Amino acid sequence: MSAPDPAPGSLIEISVETAGIDAELVADAFRQACSEGVAIEAPSRFDRATETYVLDADAPALVKGYVPAADDAVRIGDTLRLALQGAPLDRPLAWQQPRRLHETDWRNAWKKHFGVQRIGHGIVVVPSWIDYTLRAGEVVLRIDPGMAFGTGQHPTTAMCLRALEETGAEDADVLDLGCGSGILSIAAVLLGARRVLALDTDPDAIKAAAENVADNGVAEAVEVRIGTIEEGSAPDATFDLALANISGLALERLAPALGGALSPGGRLILSGFLADAVDGLQRALEANGLRAERVVEDGVWRAVLARRDS
C-alpha cells in the first residue's frame, strides 16, 4: 500500500471493502486510527414505514477513514490491517489504494453519508443542513457528523438511545460517562431529565459535546466536563441514571465507581462492546451491587441494562 504525495489542505483516504454486516466492526477499528473521521458507504433502501434508510447487511460496504496528508498513511494502513486480522469477520477484507482529497471536498462529502435517522419510537437525529418538521411525540436532536464522536449511526449509540427512551429519564439526575458528541446527554434532557453531568477524557470530545449541547438548547441542564469517575472528577451527589457507551474492559474496571455513583434503585445503560464481553461485565456488575436485568443485541454489538440494588 503506497500513499499519494501530500499537498497543502489535503487529506488521505484509507478505505476497505467489507461485508455489510461487518461494516461497523471494521469502522470501529478505523475510528481508533483515523483522526479526521470515518464514513461508511453501504447499499440501503428507503423504509417508508419509518421514513429512514435501512442498510443492506448482505451487500458489500466500503469503510473509509481520513488522516491528514502529513501523517504516515502507509503506517496507519498497515496498523489497521494487523488490527483487523483476528477480527470475527464474515468475509475477507479487500483493501483499496489510498487517495488524496482536498479538505473542502471531504467536508462536503460527509453530507451524502448522513440523513435523517429515526431511532426507537420518537427520537429523530437530524443533520444541521436538513430542514425537518417536528411531529407529535418526537424529540429532535441536531448532531452533525465528522469528528462529532457519536451521531446515532453506530449500533451501540442507537441501542443506548432506544434503551433511554424505553426506560425514561423524567426528573432524573443523569451521568453520561464517555459522552462523546453529547448525543445521549441531549436525548436525556429532551426526554425529561432534570440535570446531566457529561464526562469525557478527550478534550476534542468535550468541545464537540459543549457545542452540540448549546446548539440543541439544553446547556442550562447539561454540565460538560473533562474527566472520569475513577479519577475523582464526579461530584459528591449520586445519580438516578448512568449512561456509558465505552469499551467492555473499561466498564469492568469502572464497575465499582459506577456502583458508587448510582442512587439505590438507580438504573444503568451500558454499551460499546461485543458479545464476548458480556459475561465478564455482568460478573463485575454483580460484584458491585449492580444487577443486570437485560442484554440487548444489535448484530455483533451488545448493551446491558442494569440496576443498583436498593
User: Each residue of 249-290: pLDDT tens digit?
Assistant: 889 999 999 999 999 999 999 998 888 899 999 999 999 999
pLDDT level of residue 7 (50, 70, 90 thresholds): very low
Domain edge (last residue) among 113, 141, 165:
113
Assigned C-alpha cell, 172? 432524573
pLDDT level of residue 100 (50, 70, 90 thresholds): confident
In a domain, 134, yes or no: no
pLDDT computed for residue 202 by the predictor: 83
Neighbour-count burial of 184, counting CB atoms closer than 10 A to its CB (0-12 exposed, 13-18 middle, 19+ buried): buried
Which residue segment(s) compose the domain that 109 sits in? 10-113
Across 148-300, the runs of DSSP E, i.e. the strands, are 173-177, 195-200, 222-226, 239-245, 262-274, 290-298
Query: Do 289 and 161 share a structural domain?
Result: yes
Domain edge (last residue) among 85, 113, 141:
113
Minimum mean pLDDT range among 57-61, 94-98, 186-190, 304-308: 57-61
Task: Check whether 30 has a pLDDT greater than 50.
Answer: yes
pLDDT 10s digits, 44-82: 555 555 555 555 666 788 888 888 887 788 899 999 999
How many angstroms separate the CA atoms of 73 and 226, rounded?
30
Q: Which residue has the higher pLDDT, 151 or 175?
A: 175
Under the phi-then-psi rule, with left for phi > 0, alpha for psi from -120 to 50, and beta for the rest, what region is 9? left
pLDDT computed for residue 110 by the predictor: 62
Q: Which residue has the higher pLDDT, 136 or 230?
A: 136
Q: Pick the closest to residue 20 from 48, 38, 40, 47 (CA basis).
A: 40
pLDDT computed for residue 137 by the predictor: 87
Q: Which of 126-135, 218-227, 231-240 has the highest mean pLDDT?
A: 218-227
pLDDT 10s digits, 118-169: 888 899 988 878 888 888 889 999 987 554 456 667 788 889 999 999 999 9
Helical segments of 115-247, H only: 155-167, 183-190, 203-215
User: For the chain, how far is it from start to end, CA to CA, in angstroms?
Assistant: 57
How many angstroms separate the CA atoms of 7 and 245, rounded?
37
| Mean pLDDT of the chain, nearest integer | 84
- Overall average pLDDT of the 199-210 stretch: 87
Within 10 angstroms of residue 150's Cβ, the number of other Cβ atoms is 25
CATH number at 104 reads 3.30.70.120
In a domain, 118, yes or no: no
| Torsion angle of C-alpha atoms 151, 273, 296, 308, degrees rounded to 10 | -100
In a domain, 270, yes or no: yes
In a domain, 73, yes or no: yes
Q: How far is CA 35 from CA 38, 125, 205, in A?
A: 9, 23, 12
Domain edge (last residue) among 56, 87, 113:
113
Cβ distance 122 to 137 under 8 Å? Answer: yes
CATH number at 269 reads 3.40.50.150
Q: Which residue type, as a one-letter code, is found at position 162?
A: R
How many angstroms separate the CA atoms of 40 and 34, rounded?
13
Query: Do 95 and 192 share a structural domain?
Result: no
Name the percent of the chain lying above pLDDT 90.
45
pLDDT level of residue 181 (50, 70, 90 thresholds): confident
Assigned C-alpha cell, 85? 486480522
